[in-house]
Amino acid sequence: MPIIIPKDIPAFDTLQKENIFVMTHSRAVGQDIRPIRIAIVNLMPTKEVTELQLMRLLGNTPLQVKITLVKTKTYKSKHVADWYLDKFYRFFDDIKNKDYDGLIVTGAPVETLAFEDVKYWKELTEIMEWADNHVTSTIYICWGAQAALYYRYGINKILLPEKKFGIFGTHATVPYELLLKGLDDTFYIPHSRHTEIDGDAVRAIPELEVVAESKDAGISIIKEADGKRFYFTGHAEYDRYTLDEEYKRDRDKGLNIASPVNYYTDNTNTEIDVKWRSTANLLFYNWLNYYVYQIAPYEIEEITD
């Protein structure tokens, strides 16, 4: 089944070329199917890139998935044209009286700031509170995961001596976790961050369960017991060139940045070994199936009830 997005959003043509079934709203309403409604709070400056990465994964299921892109009112992105945001995004105020089957909150390049110093912090906390009663299941990614853990449980982030940057082997820490169904014993997830969460603080909270961990990158995925919230510390959604572009951007700025580990296959840093694509597809497929579709009521208004 397709992912439902506007025909004139740039991701539409790219997804079609990749043989991912996309559909416009006008065509979707002609089908007697209740689509899964997913809202994406996109905090990344490169919004078009992040949209495409997440839509690519959400479109790789048998479900009909309708996407709503959400922007913040308290901070205006400097990297995206106003007309683009006005056309394809909605403010939180526009959706806060609606219910959604799933929510994704992305990372953001603000991890060295105190949470309360982030300009849209109050608005983000309102979104997190809203999700408790209006969303079946939520994924928080990277800084989004750190922010949610801090807000909900007071777990702070820890500044790393050097950037955690590369592709890291990861393994399940609990047997038969549905989110990880189909993954190999060792699976790979990209990480790109200057901070990490306090693992001891996470394990001290009964409601939180570490379901995947990396020897070199630390805790990778945390689940709340009821599956209502997931916290991804890495970026499984990244595509082939994301880390390459980040590395070259920082290097060209003169920053002290090492090349991403376990990523390039040659000494010239040109050939890339993509070893996380199947992991990304299975993570989002399993989330949509087991923690959204199988749980969400047919009448979406019942989520609030």
Which residues are catalytically annotated? Answer: 142, 235, 237
Other Cβ atoms closer than 10 A to 268: 7
Residues 6+ apart with CB under 8 A from 59: 2, 3, 15, 20, 21, 22, 65
Tokens of 288: 């949509």
Structural contact between residues 286 and 190, judged by C-beta atoms closer than 8 angstroms:
no
Q: Could you give the CA distance from residue 239 to residue 110 in angstroms, rounded to a whole number?
A: 21
Residue 259: is it exposed, middle or buried by C-beta count within 10 angstroms (0-12/13-18/19+)?
middle
Q: Could you give the CA distance from residue 187 to residue 72 in angstroms, rounded to a whole number?
A: 34
Residue matched to tokens 């990523």:
263
Rounded to a whole number of angstroms, the CA Rg of the chain reads 19
